[in-house]
Amino acid sequence: MTFSSPARLRVAIAVAAIAGPLTAHAQDIGGYGDEDDGGDWDFFIGAGVGYEPEYEGSDRYKTEALPGFQIVYRNRFLVGPQGLGVFVVDEERFRLSAAVGYGGGRKESDSTYLYGLGDIDDGAVLSLGTQYDLGGVVATADVQKFLSGSEGTLVSFGLQSEVPFGVVRGLLLPTGTNISDTVDERGLALIGGISADWADGNYNQSFFGVTPTQSARSGLQTYSAGSGFKSVNVEFGFAKPLGKNWGLTGIATYSKLLGDAADSPVVKSDDSLSAQLFVGFNF
């Protein structure tokens, strides 16, 4: 389910890995909690730390705390710090989700590089997400529409996988076991994924363009950014149960800006690394 912001903080992935098979940005990487006991409600709380660029395109990095919570009702309705969502279709292999959240902005104070460019306001974000289980690999497609701030559209396509560590070591699983099953009985799992992001002209101009007014204030040359593929991303990580209801997740992401985004004078580095470490409790 898509709740992620343009800054691509991977809190949602960590929450999904620990809290259960309900996922954010379609990250179906298993759960650490109890099997379904027939109750209607499922709760998750957690905290972590993240390391990432000051803004998308910066060559300076920051470290920040990543609090997280999630409430799920009847495995269909979900609320968390990034929004409210519902699985419209939740079949064995196919899911269709819709969500409304808040975010999508950027503060001039996030970096000295942004001085003179002004703020991009946060606002409501409408999202649609699909995922299809290919058998060990999940194909995803997500659309986010920002109703204020950039007023743009961001579309992401990706492939994600979770593999028990025993498979990587060459160990055989019992006959009939699917490697995309939850990992709580097999311990450590490795996570991997690739994705590409397409943005429309409104989005790219807001985050990577420079108007004449902004140019006069910042000293950057004027620049017009059009629509197109904005970035590609590669993710690696792990998910590890720490007892019956506790879990630990680590995610590292390499991102490469493309096209008009990469050529922007706002961008100081067109490639970046980010990492998150998250611990949580599911009950």
Determine the average pLDDT of the residues in 5-11.
45
Q: What is the reported pLDDT for 27?
A: 38
**Long-range residue pairs from 173-179, CB within 8 A, at least 24 positions apart, any chain:** 178/135, 178/136, 179/136
Between CA 3 and CA 129 the distance in angstroms is 10
Read off the pLDDT band of 154 (50, 70, 90). Answer: very high
Helix (H) or strand (E) holding 261: helix 259-263
Q: What is the reported pLDDT for 124?
A: 94
Q: Are strands 137-146 and 123-133 parallel, antiparallel or unpaired?
A: antiparallel
CA atoms within 13 A on the CB side of 265: 13
Q: Is the pLDDT of residue 110 over 90?
A: yes
Is the CB of residue 16 less than 8 Å from the CB of residue 280? no
Is the CB of residue 114 less than 8 Å from the CB of residue 147? no
| Average pLDDT of the chain to the nearest whole number | 84
Cα 244 to chain centroid distance, Å, stands at 26
Read off the pLDDT band of 164 (50, 70, 90). Answer: confident
Q: Is the pLDDT of residue 197 over 50?
A: yes
Is the CB of residue 199 less than 8 Å from the CB of residue 261? yes
Predicted TM-score (pTM) of the model is 0.83
pLDDT single digits (tens) 32-91: 334 445 579 989 898 999 999 999 999 999 999 988 888 989 889 989 876 899 999 999
Between CA 56 and CA 106 the distance in angstroms is 10
Helix (H) or strand (E) holding 207: helix 201-208
Between CA 186 and CA 178 the distance in angstroms is 12
Read off the pLDDT band of 139 (50, 70, 90). Answer: very high
Between CA 144 and CA 131 the distance in angstroms is 15
**Exposure pattern of 125-151 as b/e (b: 16+ CB <10 Å)?**
bbbbbbbebeeebbebbbebbbeebbe
Q: Tell me what percent of the residues of the chain surpass a pLDDT of 70.
A: 78
pLDDT single digits (tens) 240-250: 888 888 889 99
What is the token pair recorded at 63?
């470290």
3-state secondary structure of 86: strand
Hey, what domains does the chain have and what are their CATH numbers?
11-282 (2.40.160.40)
Between CA 122 and CA 140 the distance in angstroms is 25
What is the token pair recorded at 27?
């990250």
* Residue showing tokens 């590669």: 234
Read off the pLDDT band of 186 (50, 70, 90). Answer: low
Q: Please tell me which residue, 15 or 60, carries the higher pLDDT value.
A: 60
Q: Please tell me which residue, 161 or 178, carries the higher pLDDT value.
A: 161
Q: What is the reported pLDDT for 98?
A: 94
Across-strand partners of 280?
A: 46, 247
Q: Tell me what percent of the residues of the chain surpass a pLDDT of 90.
A: 61
